[in-house]
A = this chain, B = another copy of it.
Amino acid sequence: MTRPTPISGFPEWMPPQRMIEQYVLDRIRNTFELYGFAPLETRAVEPLDQLLRKGETSKEVYVLRRLQEAGEGGPGGAAADSADSDALGLHFDLTVPFARFVLENAGKLQFPFRRYQIQKVWRGERPQEGRYREFTQADIDVVDRDTLPFHYEAEMPLVVADALGGLPIPPIRIQVNNRKVCEGFYRGVGISDPEAALRAVDKLDKIGPDRVAQLLMETAGATEAQAKAVLALAEISAGDASFADAVRALGVENPLLDEGLDELVRVVETANEHAPGLLVADLKIARGLDYYTGTVYETQMRGYERFGSICSGGRYDNLASTGAERYPGVGISIGVTRMLGLLFGANALTISRPVPTCVLVAVPTEADRLACDRIARALRQRGIATEVAPAAVKYGKQIRYAERRGIPYVWFPGEPDTVKDIRSGEQMEAEASTWQPPAEDLRPVVKGAS
């Protein structure tokens, strides 16, 4: 076997980074549960036709086939062809699988159904910084039967603020908009294809206002004056309800616009009561996916704005529906791998040691190994992560092993036992049934860089 090499877009953290990731995921999960979201995992695969049903993601899907199917389906594995209705693909987000899960199990669920889901997803996009082919997302959604109370749209940012707020990461700012504001405004100024207009505005940060104006005229049938009005709306941004006055000052009248403004004001005011400065109404936020129908969210991390949103979502009314049944929902998704990839890339997160181990029990001779195991067991039973040294070599070598591993304490069996903090050199008598390390040494501690 030759030395293997990484696969572009499929990141693998080393154990210290993975320990930080677990710390972050635990914090997120704990917050989700404090808000009463129940855990769910859906399978990694969905029927290919389901995956291609919505949005502009068809090029990103990984299609699966079993290796032996190549024989069944002829050379080249025709069995996995997209024409095959049984073909399976890896999910590219957690919203589409969740909508499918709700439809499939509606009879067994209590509505409104609150669930969180923390899983890997896959997209065959071109990899770049902060953009991967395999990555972890942490989603919450609330769905209800027939109608979904609006107040859940105001709840989503609060959960994210609590989940990320306690972490040693740069401050986040959640940008919100409301599809009703955009669509109502576009209709109010007389644009006939609001969806095309939205798709053009979605490119604003990427291509700038001039080319968006051009796109609006080319694809959404806008006049120059209409394009100008659309861009004026997109410029409005405020951390309080004053954005609504700025919109009304543009002089466009439309009932859907009024409804959207009322909702957006409520989202902003709820957030300001809970976490001032967290949220900003930013009317250029469009979100590419077609299925959003109300509030939409994006999130920037201070200092990393150029890499795009680390947490996005919105309200969807028509994603989960089958004939007469409708399950409107709202959700938000933390891009954990993107967020951590950016922070790791900037060395902005550290951990106090690269192993869980707090104590290494030194082994005087191999004949003492069972006795050393007993010491380790006594420490573990009280929650102290402990290893026994690999070999009964000279103590100096065993201490250097602990140093290399980043283990802070070495335990020496004897009469009495002693334990040494190998960072300070301090050594003291100790009993495995009672000794306790300082609280900050019990588990590895995650810190920000500065």
Contact = CB atoms under 8 A, between A and B. Distances in A.
A67 B41 contact: no
Interface string A1-21: 111111100111111001101
B61 A62 contact: no
A56 to B, nearest CB: 13
Given A62-B65, A67-B61, A89-B67, A43 B100 contact: no
A23 to B, nearest CB: 10
A445 to B, nearest CB: 14
Contact of A43 (B7, B33, B45, B369): B7
Contacts of A441: none
A1 B274 contact: no
A91 to B, nearest CB: 11
Contacts of A81: 70, 75-77
A377 interface: yes
B45 A134 contact: yes
Given A6-B104, A270-B370, A36 B80 contact: no
A158 B369 CA distance: 14
A240 to B, nearest CB: 16
A67 B82 CA distance: 8
A237 interface: no
B76 A274 contact: no
B144 A390 contact: yes
A66 B75 contact: no
Given A59-B67, A404-B110, A274 B34 contact: no
A292 B50 CA distance: 42
A250 interface: no
A33 B386 CA distance: 8
Nearest to A112: B390
Nearest to A142: B390
B36 A355 contact: yes
Contacts of A100: 4
A289 interface: no
Contact of A15 (B15, B39, B61, B149): B39
A187 interface: no
A101 B3 CA distance: 10
B39 A22 contact: yes
A53 interface: yes
Contact of A103 (B4, B77, B273): B4
Contacts of A377: 274
Pairs of residues from A and B, 6 with the lowest C-beta to C-beta distance, nearest first:
A76-B76, A66-B124, A36-B387, A36-B357, A15-B38, A10-B43
29 contacts: A1-B322, A3-B322, A4-B100, A4-B104, A7-B45, A10-B45, A12-B42, A34-B356, A34-B385, A35-B380, A35-B387, A36-B355, A36-B357, A44-B122, A61-B67, A62-B66, A62-B67, A64-B64, A66-B124, A70-B81, A75-B76, A75-B78, A75-B81, A76-B76, A77-B78, A77-B80, A162-B380, A270-B370, A274-B373
